Amino acid sequence: MKLSTPPIAPKTLVTLHSLGIETVADLRQIGSAKAFLLLKAAGCTVTQSTLWQLEALLLGIAAADLSDTQKAAVTGQIKQHPPVAVFPTPSEMEKFMQAALQQAKQSSQMEEIPVGTVVVQKGQIIAAAHNTCVRNHNISHHAEIRALAQAGAALGNYRLDGCDVYITLEPCAMCASALIQARVKRVIFGAAEPKTGAAGSVLNLFGHNILNKHTAVLGGVLADECGNVLRDFFAARRG
């Protein structure tokens, strides 16, 4: 069943369609809480009644028939939900991830674990870095930390509000914490890191309710290419 007006307000419906949420099935896949947060992230003016309408659509009832318990449950989901953002188009994300991959390949040539990062502001790369832990005898010289330092110097501010960070590998806890502290808007990573990943694989610091939640995360962009760089590196070392 397609979403329609009524019950959804016309401008809200247009925004939902722009987000790829056109049917009740689309809404069910995302959930009413995330759809509501996506509307806010897209700049749509929404009220609590919008949330009730979305939840009621999923339940197949009128918003006026939602119980207090049902309203409390979906409100709780909003409070517990990880940060949400509207991400760039796939082609744009792949373009910047390719730049991060070039950085990762530089690490590989230096016998460093091949991870690359670029920081993007308003569609322009303002910082690019790769791992140099071995070369600099410094465990903190991960690609993300070095790129954040470069971007901070370029902007004259350690807070990188409005910036996106592209990373070829899911960040570890150290780097995830630094990204959060920098108030980066969005983190886009390539390959998952099942052993130390702190963006969902082992834990998700970005969605931890005790921490200040500023940064939305999306993984899997050019995941195969990013993973292959790492696999080739370790295969060569074993060989």
Report the mean per-residue pLDDT for the chain: 95
Please tell me the predicted confidence (pLDDT) of residue 205. 95
Pick from 116, 83, 98: nearest CA to 200 = 83
Decide: 144 and 164 in contact? Cβ < 8 Å.
no
Encoded tokens for 8? 């959804």
Does the structure show a pLDDT above 90 at 26?
yes
What are the residue ranges of helices labelled H in 110-167? 133-136, 143-155
How distant is the alpha carbon of residue 124 from its chain centre? 18
Which sequence spans correspond to the domains of the chain? 10-80, 90-236
Whether the ω angle into residue 82 lies within 30 degrees of 0, i.e. cis, is no
Please tell me the predicted confidence (pLDDT) of residue 237. 83
Q: Which residues sit opposite 176 in a β-bridge?
A: none
Write out the binding residues: 142, 172, 175
CATH topology match: 10-80 vs 90-236? no
Going by pLDDT thresholds of 50, 70 and 90, the confidence category of residue 72 is very high
Write out the binding residues for Zn(2+): 142, 172, 175
Please tell me the predicted confidence (pLDDT) of residue 88. 96
H or E element at residue 85 = none
In CATH terms, the fold of domain 10-80 is DNA polymerase; domain 1 (1.10.150)
Decide: 135 and 110 in contact? Cβ < 8 Å.
yes
Q: Pairing state of beta strands 186-191 and 124-130? A: unpaired
Residues 6+ apart with CB under 8 A from 107: 113, 114, 115, 116, 130, 131, 132, 143
Active site residues per annotation: 144
Q: HEC states along 177-209?
A: HHHHHCCCCEEEEEECCCCCCCECCCCEHHHCC
Please tell me the predicted confidence (pLDDT) of residue 58. 94
Going by pLDDT thresholds of 50, 70 and 90, the confidence category of residue 227 is very high
Long-range contact pairs involving 156-160 (C-beta distance under 8 Å, separation at least 24):
158/182, 159/183, 160/119, 160/121, 160/184, 160/185
H or E element at residue 190 = strand 186-191
Give the pLDDT confidence of 180-218 residue by residue, as tens digits: 999 999 999 999 999 999 999 999 999 987 887 789 999
Decide: 74 and 33 in contact? Cβ < 8 Å.
yes
How far apart, in whole angstroms, are the C-alpha atoms of residue 50 and residue 162?
27
Give the pLDDT confidence of 120-153 residue by residue, as tens digits: 999 999 999 999 999 999 999 999 999 999 999 9
Does the structure show a pLDDT above 90 at 93?
yes
- Looking at the structure, give the CATH architecture of the domain made up of residues 90-236: 3-Layer(aba) Sandwich (3.40)
How far apart, in whole angstroms, are the C-alpha atoms of residue 20 and residue 39?
11
Please tell me the predicted confidence (pLDDT) of residue 209. 78
